[in-house]
Amino acid sequence: MKRLFAAVSVAAVLAAAPAMAQAPDLVAVNGIFDQGFNHSEVMRTAAHLTDRIGGRMTNSPQMRETERWTQERFREWGLSNVRAEGFEFGRGWSIVRSDARMVEPRPLELRAIPVAWTPGTDGTISGEVVLAPMSRVADFDKHRGKLAGKIVMISEPTDAEDPTTPQFRRWTDEELAGRTAYVQPNHAPVTVSRDGGRDNFALRMDEFLASEGALGWVRMSYRDGGLLHGAGYTHRVGATPRLPGMELAAEDYRRLARLSRAGAAPKLELLSEVRFHDEDVNAYNVLADIPGTSRSGEYVMAGAHFDSWVAADGAVDNAAGTAVVMEAARILKALNVRPKRTIRFALWNGEEQGLHGSLAYVDRHLATRAPLGDAELDALPNGQTWRARWPVQPRDGHDDLVAYFNIDNGSGRIRGVNAEGNVAAAAVFEEWLEPFHSLGATTVSLRPAGGTDHVYMQTVGIPGFQFIQDPLDYGSRLHHTSIDSYDHLKPEDLRQAAVVLAGLLLAAANSDEPLPRMPLPTRPTPTDPFTQ
Amino acid sequence: MKRLFAAVSVAAVLAAAPAMAQAPDLVAVNGIFDQGFNHSEVMRTAAHLTDRIGGRMTNSPQMRETERWTQERFREWGLSNVRAEGFEFGRGWSIVRSDARMVEPRPLELRAIPVAWTPGTDGTISGEVVLAPMSRVADFDKHRGKLAGKIVMISEPTDAEDPTTPQFRRWTDEELAGRTAYVQPNHAPVTVSRDGGRDNFALRMDEFLASEGALGWVRMSYRDGGLLHGAGYTHRVGATPRLPGMELAAEDYRRLARLSRAGAAPKLELLSEVRFHDEDVNAYNVLADIPGTSRSGEYVMAGAHFDSWVAADGAVDNAAGTAVVMEAARILKALNVRPKRTIRFALWNGEEQGLHGSLAYVDRHLATRAPLGDAELDALPNGQTWRARWPVQPRDGHDDLVAYFNIDNGSGRIRGVNAEGNVAAAAVFEEWLEPFHSLGATTVSLRPAGGTDHVYMQTVGIPGFQFIQDPLDYGSRLHHTSIDSYDHLKPEDLRQAAVVLAGLLLAAANSDEPLPRMPLPTRPTPTDPFTQ
């Protein structure tokens, strides 16, 4: 069904735009297969990023080493114009050690991780817990006067979940076929919050807890099974909270909540030893090129964010994508390709806190957006107002970037491309994917894929795409968790992904015509006509 | 299909033994439903065993409290003859605190638990790791001379598993129907090891490592996902190892192994603070009765082991079964039943280390087995030679115990009974289960169910049975793991199980004829005629 549908699409578009069709260079594909399957370095790259460097929080010492090491690799492989491009991010933060124990009513080691960008405990702190769930400012009043000297449990405990679906899966052909249909976008009105959203709530809660004399706070992991995350967002200079916060395993948190409700007065000992790193508040994207031989200025780009959280080693999110992008660079360079257009490889920083690195690149090189004309709002971090600002204001380099491919969905092999509603590009992708059908990369979907670094490209009319990857156990148990380590990477899948990516990059760099674009985005009409 | 099959079985047997059929007392069942569903205490009992007491290792302070508290409950509920029956087990052991960190090549908190009955580290120990997998004595030579001052990684690291099946499931009607067929037993020759099996290997490895000057050892968890277990078996007096041992999460262990192989010389800090408890080397089963009104001496019995491991709180294994057995007692006592036969409730100790508590009961009250006549072998712990010793020698009380029901398969509701090849009993169970069909308890299987406390009853010809329970996530992620806590218990299921158990106990206690038995076991003919 999918194949038939695809064939119809291609035929329809080819009739309208015959110049776009171009047979893939199968000899080049042979070279890519050879480098990618017989001389792969992708797992060696991934092992260094995960086992050796470990979790790579933006602006942490581990990320500084990653910024250095990735550039060194690109240079060793002979890429050109290898460089780091800085953007303001905030403070670095890293964990030295941590521990959490229940000491009353009985001794028990708990599973815990410091919440990112909260301060340490300055030695072990010890106190009774108090269950005081809060998720908005209005909740503070309920707990006022009860928190002094306490460790505050800020999450409402939820019931355990029953894992009734397999954690690990691959797309079936039927499921892939089901993804090809166009999905109409939903345009809700974009609102801009003056109080800065989640960062601000974290800071207001911190202020409240500190003023109440609380010792610190713990929250519940949002996944069962003892998994931890530790995500936090208060990384801006001057926005560091006063109290330490730790995340507890759901099972440990729920036990504490039950004991507390049953009157057993559980008491905790918490140790969080963390460091802040303020030497440089800039984070750096790493860029490297294979220069084009003609069509001066035009380039195609592949990117992946190379920062991660620190509950484990940031393997599937996103050493996987990083290693695939780097491997595609290595493959193409090893083949000594001479593409018409430049091929650029980008490793984005600060993705986990809001796609900061790719937005910085977009704003610097591709397009910006008009200010709102409200001094307070226009002083907010770029990403907080970006979507509310119109019109898009293309920069000089806007037309140069003809296609952007992003990888950030774990270590599952590439099963196709999400064409983001770009029907004309979809028809081209059908052609370009042909040599990779035998690797399982068959599907062109018109769907959008959100949540990662191609998104800001899309907001300014750059053809930016994320691949369809086999989901494996990315979303179910690895994404941002304490078990996101090298063991759960799939070597065959990552080799395949690097081969497919290298192939598409080369096709995009050498095609006679640039990949078709969507019209430059303008303010959408709200889907619900009764909103404004 | 299942129903048809069942009906045929019952009809066939009824024709042969009409005296056995007896309509269930439905008025009594009404009372059981009322107590079990409207006045249930099962979750309160489970909460106390798990949240308040926690992991209940045999002879630990937590188990001493459990022995006391369960007797107190039975007495409060008005049961008779509440008592603790001791048997020699060995030392108690409990964890005070533990911690494991990688300090080189980078700092990282590891997930770890002390291995049961290994000594503590006496403060933090610190050393490089050496990968030296060993699973039999012949492996020692490979590693000799390389272990001094090292923390030894004794497991061969295996690859991560892909969780492609759902962790949580219930039996479908089709699956239940598939379980009713008779499965022929396989009789392999029984061998008796002079060296005592796994305990002995642990001790010989300990001796080897200590003589080599190793600091301690770590092993890999046998489950992925950061789950821990910590099982160990060196609980006998005089058999305590010299070196501390800890289990690491599979992800943490594999990372260490990779770093070690890559030449990164990982270094660990381990802290294991544990206590041994030698005040009393006996463990105690707890027994309580509802006395019979006639048929003096005959009794029916329900049992569950109430000991657990300590990685979490021993919830599904086996606070669940313990709470169900206790709740069945509470229900029947609250209804003030006057059964013909005594109904006995048994909480077994030392199950996790080899069904020691139920074996002690069998050997004391039901039957023993002839000695082998080899002084060395006959001095081994009872369970190590039991199955090799013939003939079975019934004790005076052998005929008194007419039916034993065991619960030890997690918190899944009862879907039926495993009749252990006892065709005559199966026909009776079909009758007895009838009033509980609406609760999902419908299936009588002829299959045996191994691995828990009814097994030794079976070995001496007592009709001992384990229920068919919905598997839920017992085997997949909870059994013996660090997330076996109260959250994963299913209140509706446990209430149902207590109701069904109470109903079956009452039926068995009041039936005109005792439940049919299998012939007294004699030495089986080996299935393979070429073995002896």
Put simply, the answer to whether A255 touches B313 (Cβ < 8 Å) is yes
Option in A51, A111, A160 nearest B487 (CB):
A160
pLDDT surpasses 80 at A436: yes
Contact predicate A305/A318, CB 8 Å: yes
Which residues make Cβ contacts (< 8 Å) with residue A243, sequence separation at least 6? A118, A119, A206, A209, A210, A214, A215, A216, A217
Write down the pLDDT at residue B3. Answer: 34
Report the CATH architecture of B92-277: 3-Layer(bba) Sandwich (3.50)
Cis bond before residue A391 (omega within 30° of 0): yes
Put simply, the answer to whether B111 touches A107 (Cβ < 8 Å) is no
How many angstroms separate the first and last alpha carbons of chain B? Answer: 41
Confidence bin at B197 (pLDDT 50/70/90): low
The tally of CA atoms less than 13 A away on the side-chain side of residue A443 is 27
pLDDT surpasses 60 at B122: yes
Write down the pLDDT at residue B288. Answer: 98
Write down the pLDDT at residue B530. Answer: 84
**Among the listed residues B490, B450, B452, B479, the one whose alpha carbon sits nearest the alpha carbon of residue B302:** B452
Mean pLDDT over residues B267-294, rounded? 98
Cis bond before residue B514 (omega within 30° of 0): no
Measured CA to CA, the distance from residue A136 to residue A158 in angstroms comes to: 17
Q: Which residue has the higher pLDDT, A197 or B365?
A: B365
Q: What percent of chain A has pLDDT over 90?
A: 88
Mean pLDDT over residues B78-107, rounded? 97
Look-up: residue for tokens 């200590």? B210
The tally of CA atoms less than 13 A away on the side-chain side of residue B189 is 8
**Among the listed residues B489, B319, B487, the one whose alpha carbon sits nearest the alpha carbon of residue A259:** B487
**Residue B228 structure tokens:** 């821990």
Write down the pLDDT at residue A175. Answer: 95
pLDDT surpasses 60 at A16: no
Q: What percent of chain B has pLDDT over 70?
A: 95
Confidence bin at B123 (pLDDT 50/70/90): very high
Write down the pLDDT at residue A462. Answer: 97
Residue B142 contacts A where some CB pair is shorter than 8 Å: no
Write down the pLDDT at residue B270. Answer: 98
Write down the pLDDT at residue B180. Answer: 87
B66: left (phi over 0), alpha (psi -120 to 50) or beta: alpha
pLDDT in tens, A474-526: 999 999 999 999 999 999 999 999 999 999 999 999 999 999 999 999 999 99
pLDDT surpasses 90 at A192: no
Q: Which CATH class is domain B2-89+281-352+360-369+406-510?
A: alpha beta
Which residues make Cβ contacts (< 8 Å) with residue B110, sequence separation at least 6? B100, B101, B102, B248, B249, B252, B268
Distance from CA of A411 to the nearest CA of B (A): 13
Mean pLDDT over residues A458-480, rounded? 97
Give the right CATH number for A53-89+281-360+400-510 from 3.30.465.10, 1.10.260.40, 3.40.630.10, 3.40.50.300.
3.40.630.10
Confidence bin at A183 (pLDDT 50/70/90): confident
Average pLDDT over chain B, rounded to whole?
93
pLDDT surpasses 70 at B4: no
**Among the listed residues A488, A481, A60, the one whose alpha carbon sits nearest the alpha carbon of residue A231:** A481
Put simply, the answer to whether B486 touches A95 (Cβ < 8 Å) is no
Write down the pLDDT at residue A447. Answer: 87
Residue B517 contacts A where some CB pair is shorter than 8 Å: no
Instruction: Give the three-class secondary structure for A528.
Output: coil
Write down the pLDDT at residue B16. Answer: 42
pLDDT surpasses 90 at B32: yes
Measured CA to CA, the distance from residue B128 to residue B103 in angstroms comes to: 10
Put simply, the answer to whether B225 touches A224 (Cβ < 8 Å) is no
Residue B53 contacts A where some CB pair is shorter than 8 Å: yes
Radius of gyration in angstroms for the set of CA atoms belonging to chain B, rounded to a whole number: 24
Largest CA distance in chain A: 76
Confidence bin at B262 (pLDDT 50/70/90): very high
Which residues make Cβ contacts (< 8 Å) with residue B149, sequence separation at least 6? B127, B128, B213, B214, B215
Confidence bin at A24 (pLDDT 50/70/90): confident
Option in A99, A169, A262 nearest B99 (CB):
A99
pLDDT in tens, B283-326: 999 999 999 998 779 999 999 999 999 999 999 999 999 999 99
Which pairs with CB-CB distance under 8 Å and at least 24 residues apart come from A42-45?
A42/A323, A42/A324, A42/A326, A42/A327, A42/A491, A42/A494, A42/A495, A42/A498, A43/A323, A43/A489, A43/A491, A43/A494, A43/A495, A45/A73, A45/A322, A45/A323, A45/A326, A45/A327
Distance from CA of A355 to the nearest CA of B (A): 26
A197-211, A246-260, A289-303, B497-511: which range is least confident on average? A197-211
Distance from CA of B163 to the nearest CA of A (A): 5
pLDDT surpasses 80 at B268: yes
Residue of A nearest to B476 (CA): A163
Give the right CATH number for A92-275 from 3.50.30.30, 3.40.50.1820, 3.30.43.10, 2.60.40.1120.
3.50.30.30
Annotated domain spans of chain B: 2-89+281-352+360-369+406-510, 92-277
Mean pLDDT over residues B270-276, rounded? 98
pLDDT surpasses 70 at A445: yes
Mean pLDDT over residues B87-103, rounded? 97
pLDDT in tens, B44-79: 999 999 999 999 999 999 999 999 999 999 999 999
Put simply, the answer to whether B166 touches A164 (Cβ < 8 Å) is yes
Put simply, the answer to whether B225 touches A313 (Cβ < 8 Å) is no
pLDDT in tens, A85-118: 999 999 999 999 999 999 999 999 999 999 999 9
Q: Identify the helix (H) or strand (E) that includes residue A71.
A: helix A61-76
Question: Would you say the CATH fold of B92-277 matches that of B2-89+281-352+360-369+406-510?
Answer: no
pLDDT in tens, A151-181: 999 999 999 999 999 999 999 999 999 988 8
Find residues 117-136 of chain A whose CB sits inside 8 Å of chain B: none
pLDDT in tens, B228-256: 999 999 999 999 999 999 999 999 999 99
**Residue B18 structure tokens:** 């009409």
pLDDT surpasses 90 at A457: yes
Measured CA to CA, the distance from residue A113 to residue B411 in angstroms comes to: 30
Find residues 459-488 of chain A whose CB sits inside 8 Å of chain B: 472-473, 476-477, 482-483, 485-488
**Residue B168 structure tokens:** 């949580």
Put simply, the answer to whether A227 touches B226 (Cβ < 8 Å) is yes
How many angstroms separate the first and last alpha carbons of chain A? Answer: 40
Residue of B nearest to A97 (CA): B109
Put simply, the answer to whether B169 touches A164 (Cβ < 8 Å) is yes
Measured CA to CA, the distance from residue B322 to residue B318 in angstroms comes to: 6
Write down the pLDDT at residue A191. Answer: 84
Measured CA to CA, the distance from residue A245 to residue A266 in angstroms comes to: 18
Write down the pLDDT at residue B199. Answer: 63
Q: What share of chain B is helix, strand, coil (3-state, %, to 5)?
A: 35, 20, 45
Chain A residues close to B225, C-beta within 8 Å: 225-227, 477, 483
Write down the pLDDT at residue B192. Answer: 86
Option in A47, A62, A251 nearest B485 (CB):
A251
Write down the pLDDT at residue A220. Answer: 98
pLDDT in tens, B423-433: 999 999 999 99
**Among the listed residues B358, B361, B356, the one whose alpha carbon sits nearest the alpha carbon of residue B382:** B356
Distance of CA B473 to the CA centre of its chain: 16
Mean pLDDT over residues B498-511, rounded? 98
Q: Which residue has the higher pLDDT, B112 or B531?
A: B112
pLDDT surpasses 90 at A314: yes
Mean pLDDT over residues A336-363, rounded? 97
Confidence bin at A296 (pLDDT 50/70/90): confident
Mean pLDDT over residues B138-150, rounded? 97
Write down the pLDDT at residue A13. Answer: 40
Which residues make Cβ contacts (< 8 Å) with residue A356, sequence separation at least 6? A58, A87, A89, A283, A349, A350, A383
